[in-house]
Amino acid sequence: MMLDEHFAGIRAHRNNIHRCRRLLVTSLSDAERQLIERRLAEERAALNALFAKTFPLIFSLPKEPADCRKE
């Protein structure tokens, strides 16, 4: 999958998440609310997976040596 396609997928998931959030502040039945909340969770999971696939690098700070720690 090309980078442009990843970005398009990220945009689509973000748009779906925003749409779900807008729906959740409206008047919904319990069944509708559960459906939207489940869809929101699915979209967030898909977005996180696509982010991890698109940007696989994780930067972490090196650990401080024991003699440099504040006590």
Is residue 4 within 8 A of residue 37, CB to CB? The reply is no
pLDDT of residue 66: 61
Q: What is the DSSP string of 32-51?
A: HHHHHHHHHHHHHHHHHHHH
pLDDT in tens, 35-67: 999 999 999 999 999 988 887 776 666 776 666
Q: Which residue has the higher pLDDT, 2 or 25?
A: 25
What gap in Å lies between CA 35 and CA 41, rounded to an integer?
Answer: 10
Indicate if the pLDDT at residue 22 is higher than 70: yes
pTM, rounded to two decimals = 0.73
Q: Where are the domains of the chain?
A: 3-54
Other CB atoms within a 10 A radius of the CB of residue 51 amount to 14
User: What is the average pLDDT value for the chain, to the nearest integer?
Assistant: 86
Residue in the block written with tokens 């696509």: 50
